[in-house]
């Protein structure tokens, strides 16, 4: 009789523990799972880091000037998009372990204005996306 009670208790506890583990796995998209917020089984995401913006913030530059920055923790350069005053900019990227050196040119249509070079890094999860930028003063031609 005592063995039956102990066996029943052990069975009940193990069923409860299995149910809790399944619930945690099911709700991993809400930050409670072992994958760090539902990253789809690929482990935790590492947010991209953008640095070394050139020319410097608030620098005065000529129209069509080149700009550059480095992007850490990205899988491929296609994740990076740059706009200047909502105008998309074509980019060149070079891998320099452990970062990408990203270069572009200011749009030819912009002169005698202030403009923000806006950088966005897309990712599978919105928690892993990054955005940054800086201002430059573009002179007349």
Mean pLDDT by groups of 10 residues along the chain of 141 residues = 58 51 42 42 77 98 97 94 97 96 97 97 88 96 74
pLDDT of residue 46: 85
Of 72, 54, 82, 90, residue with least CA distance to 128: 72
Cα separation, 117 vs 83, whole angstroms: 6
pLDDT of residue 10: 53
pLDDT of residue 73: 92
pLDDT of residue 1: 56
CA distances from 40 to 79, 105, 125 (A): 18, 36, 9
């Amino acid at each position: 009789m005592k063995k039956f009670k102990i066996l029943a208790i052990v069975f009940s506890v193990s069923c409860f523990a299995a149910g809790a583990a399944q619930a945690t796995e099911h709700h991993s998209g809400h930050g409670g799972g072992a994958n760090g917020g539902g990253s789809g089984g690929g482990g935790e995401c590492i947010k991209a880091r953008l640095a070394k913006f050139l020319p410097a913030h608030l620098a005065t530059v000529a129209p069509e000037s080149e700009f550059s920055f480095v992007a850490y923790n990205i899988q491929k350069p296609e994740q990076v998009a740059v706009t200047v005053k909502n105008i998309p900019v074509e980019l060149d990227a070079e891998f320099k372990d452990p970062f990408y050196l990203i270069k572009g040119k200011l749009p030819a249509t912009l002169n005698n204005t202030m403009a923000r070079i806006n950088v966005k890094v897309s990712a599978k999860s919105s928690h892993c996306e990054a955005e940054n930028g800086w201002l430059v003063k573009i002179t007349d031609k």
